[in-house]
Amino acid sequence: LRPLGAEEGNEVKNESGEQKSLAGAKIKEELKSASFWMLLLAIFLISMGSDALFYNVSPHLIDTGYSLTVAARISSAMMVFLMLGKPIVGYLFEMLGLKLASIISTLLMIIGLISAVFISRSFFIITLVIGAGVGFASLSVSFPTYASKLYGARDYANFSSCLQIANSVGKIVGPLIVGALFSRTGSYTSSFYVALLYNVIVLLIWLFVLPKRGREPY
């Protein structure tokens, strides 16, 4: 049955429009792809690396010699840049494409981690707040973008779920590694060095897995 005034031609147009909107890869096929698993690995590593700094920056600052008040202010400033960074990172993904925007975001995280290592020098407070704050913002912006631009709308929910699972596993495993390293060294600095290694690996994955701007499949 058609509502009054509806034409058969409109139904055909709507059906063809729906088919176009649902274009995309199938999750079963991509599970056989090495590039898909490399993407999951990158998300897993970047999740561990970001959490190593995000959840331990305040105690690290206090261990380094900053007062509780100063450490709280620095953490609050990071949260402000995390909030401001989301539209900035979204703009980068829109204007620069997946590859370049992901590389820039990861480099900002690396700057944040290096700043945390040398945070005893007050200059690095600025680079820590900006680098880590804006870099962390990419975690909430990038996953839906990867799912839609790389794999399309057909199996978007499944692809998005896989990326979120990789992120969640990183958040589970990461603190265990940080805790083990802190028990051995009594410092969070070693965890930041390991997180730097994670991010370097992620940069290499971005170079080989992500397409340049204008070459995204969807």
Intra-chain end-to-end CA distance of the chain, in Å: 34
In a domain, 2, yes or no: no
> Rounded to whole angstroms, how far apart are CA atoms 145 and 130?
23
For residue 80, what are the domain limits? 39-209
Mean pLDDT of 168-192: 96
Does 13 map to a domain? no
E strands in the chain? none
The pLDDT tens digits of the residues spanning 56-114 come to 999 999 999 999 999 999 999 999 999 999 999 999 999 999 999 999 999 999 999 99
pLDDT of the residue at 23: 84
Q: Is residue 24 situated within a structural domain?
A: no
* Residue 59 located in a structural domain: yes
pLDDT over threshold 80, residue 21? no
Average confidence (pLDDT) over 111-121: 96
**Helix 34-54 crosses helix 123-151 at what angle (to 10 degrees)?**
150
Residue 3 lies in a domain: no
CATH at residue 80: 1.20.1250.20
Domains of the chain: total:
1
Task: Output 15 or 48, whichever has higher pLDDT.
Answer: 48
pLDDT grade for 4, boundaries at 50, 70 and 90: very low
